[in-house]
Structure 1
Amino acid sequence: MIIKTTLAATAALALSACASGMGAPTMTFSQASLPAAVQVPAGHKVAMETVGVGQITYECRAKKDMAGHEWVFVGPDAQLMDRMGQQVGKYHGPPATWESNDGSKLTGAQVAVAPAVAGSLPLQLVKANTAMGTGAMQGVTYIQRVATRGGVAPAMTCDAASMGRQQAVQYQADYIFWKAA
């Protein structure tokens, strides 16, 4: 059973943030203020900027050492919006998959993470695998997850009585797609 945490204000804020620049030219993403660990190596350029808005599901499971229980990441389910607020794809998993509306999609391997603001998923750098299909995801070499809000494991109790319970939490993050220059 999935219990959904409703954070309507977060979703509304996310959508209004997407729409706030409608009609205005967008600036190219700068990674200058990011921690070095999650910066894309030189020789790459931004191919696409998106805002992921959705939820991440966690499940209450026994710890690997069997000493207690913990919330374990199950997977994401988010819409990818462009800077104008139009849906251009989706992000889902497992495995973590970024999929464009044109049908092209890719997976990747995490290279590094860096802390974000408290209560938010860490910033992340992913090395992309070769895209499946032709389209927007073709040629993508790296994906950055930045500007994260929410998405951390639930604060509710995870114990023997709640074993197997799933909890979805709202989140938002910018996903920046890079290609070789």
Structure 2
Amino acid sequence: MRNFRSILIFSAAALLAPHTFAAAESENSVPESLRPDASQQAVLHVHAIGRQIYECAKGAQDIWAWQFKHPEAELFDESGKKVGNHGAGPSWTLNDGSSVVGQVQASMQAPMPGAIPWLLLNVKSHAGGGMLNTVTSIQRLATQGGVAPVKDGCTSMVAGQIVSVVYTADYAFWSPKTSKP
């Protein structure tokens, strides 16, 4: 049986404090490499609260390390209402039935130490006919936490052990300017 444990890397206050969407407020501070092209417009901003799931396994060159498996997060709109989920794929599914699967196009180290990278993703598939139906790009910004534990804890003695590392992030969904969600 696999051993499960959670590692809290960020302050609980970060989750409880009123949230502002960094993706919406500071687009000028986002590096060019993480910006969708000028033919796109942001159609949705959500805040994710969840976990990055890692497994202890042999990686490159037979070195034991925590290998990323998938995210598990809930998505919240600007009013704090749960509007969907984020999971393996990576995928995003909204309560309206629409979903997308993304593929990383660009990545940069997060400005906050101990935070997973900021990303720009291309959408590679759609399902459902709701808000995400026309989305072509996704940004992951304002990340906190989520980084894999230090490799020292992953050895053959705990092979297969799963850890979940709490994280938060803001996601911005982009569609062509001529599209209406």
Query: Is residue 2:138 matched to residue 1:109?
Result: no
Distance 2:114 2:14 in 1: 17
Partner of 1:24: none
Paired with 2:8 and 2:117, the residues of 1 have a C-alpha distance of 21
| Cα displacement (A) at 1:7 | 6.0
Tell me, yes or no, if structure 1 residue 170 matches structure 2 residue 166: yes
Match of residue 71 from structure 1: 66
Question: Secondary structure of the residue that 1:107 maps to in structure 2?
Answer: strand
Check if 1:180 corresponds to 2:176: yes
Q: 2:113 aligns with which of 110, 118, 137?
A: 118
TM-score by length of 2: 0.88
Asked if the contact 2:9–2:145 (Cα under 8 Å) also holds between the matched residues in 1, the reply is no
**Does 1:39 pair with 2:35?**
yes
Quote the offset at 1:83 in angstroms.
1.1
Offset of residue 28 of structure 1: 4.5
When the two chains are superposed, the root-mean-square deviation of aligned CA atoms in Å is 1.9
C-alpha spacing 1:105/1:69, structure 2 compared with 1 (3 Å)? same
Q: Secondary structure at the match of 1:40?
A: coil
Q: Deviations over 1:131-167 (max 9, x none)?
A: 2011011100100000000000013611111111110
- Partner amino acid, structure 2, of 1:133: G
TM-score (norm 1): 0.88
Number of corresponding residues: 172
Written as runs of structure 1 = structure 2, the 5 A alignment for 1:120-159 is 120-155=115-150, 157-159=153-155
Distance change >3 Å, CA 46–CA 15, structure 1 → 2? farther
How many Å apart are 1:13 and its aligned residue?
2.4
Unmatched 5+ stretches in structure 1: 22-26
Q: 1:59 aligns to what?
A: 55
Aligned residue in 2 for 1:80: 75
Answer yes or no: is the 8 Å Cα contact 1:29–1:46 preserved in 2.
Answer: no
**Residue 17 of structure 1: how far off its partner (Å):** 2.6
> Contact 1:130 / 1:138 at 8 angstroms: preserved in 2?
no
Residues 51-89 of structure 1, C-alpha deviation per residue, up to 9 Å, x if partnerless? 0001011011012321x2011001100000011111111
Q: Determine the C-alpha separation between the residues in 2 that align with 1:2 and 1:34.
A: 35
Paired residue for 1:4?
6
SS in 1 for 2:153: coil
Q: Measure, in 2, the Cα distance between the counterparts of 1:86 and 1:136.
A: 16
Rounded Cα–Cα distance in structure 2 between residues aligned with 1:31 and 1:92: 25
Structure 2: unaligned runs, 5 residues or longer: none
Structure 2 Cα separation of the partners of residues 134 and 61 of structure 1: 39
